[in-house]
Amino acid sequence: MNRRGFMLLEILLATTAAVLVAIAGFALLDRVRSRVVQATERVEMSDLACSALAMMEAGLVSPENMHGSLHRGVISLEDVEAGVMVRDPKYRLDVESAPSAWPGLVQVDVSVLKPEGDDVLYRAEHDGGLGPQPQARAGGGAL
């Protein structure tokens, strides 16, 4: 009878240890997953801000055109699997430009925000030229 009690106790202890190790493993995996999601979002915001700066530097858009623009992303993977692409606004750009301390250059600050809030999620700054800007004609209009 005494041997059966020890065997039952050993099984309970081994099961408890295995459950604790599994819980710790799942908690670790959850933390790793959340950090990967955060890093992916940060890379996406950085790419968005740097792309906006590159387009302004190339003269494709002006800072005024980019200010307040909404950028969309796929929000729900279930809808994607069902064949329906749901694209809601994911980020909003806040672009500020000011003359730089160096002649001929412009300081441009691009902030990435959530569409509904004013919390800055990512910020990129650039001191440089903004590409070819429309020149004023003698008649007063732009080219």
Give the pLDDT confidence score for residue 98 in this predicted structure: 84
Q: How many CB atoms lie within 10 A of CB 111?
A: 19
Per-residue pLDDT of 95-136, as tens digits, reads: 888 888 877 788 888 898 888 888 888 898 888 766 554 443
Question: Using 50, 70 and 90 to split pLDDT, how confident is the model at 86?
Answer: low
- Residues 107 and 52: their CA atoms lie apart, in Å, by 14
- Does residue 96 or residue 140 have the better pLDDT? 96
Per-residue pLDDT of 8-43, as tens digits, reads: 889 999 999 999 999 999 999 999 999 999 999 899
64 pLDDT higher than 90: no
Give the pLDDT confidence score for residue 24 in this predicted structure: 97
Predicted model pTM: 0.64
- Does residue 54 or residue 67 have the better pLDDT? 54
Exposure letters 1-38 (e unless 16+ CB within 10 A, then b) = eeeeeeeeeeeeeeeeeeeeeeeeeeeeeeeeeeeeee
**Taking a C-beta distance cutoff of 8 angstroms, is the pair 46, 124 a contact?**
yes
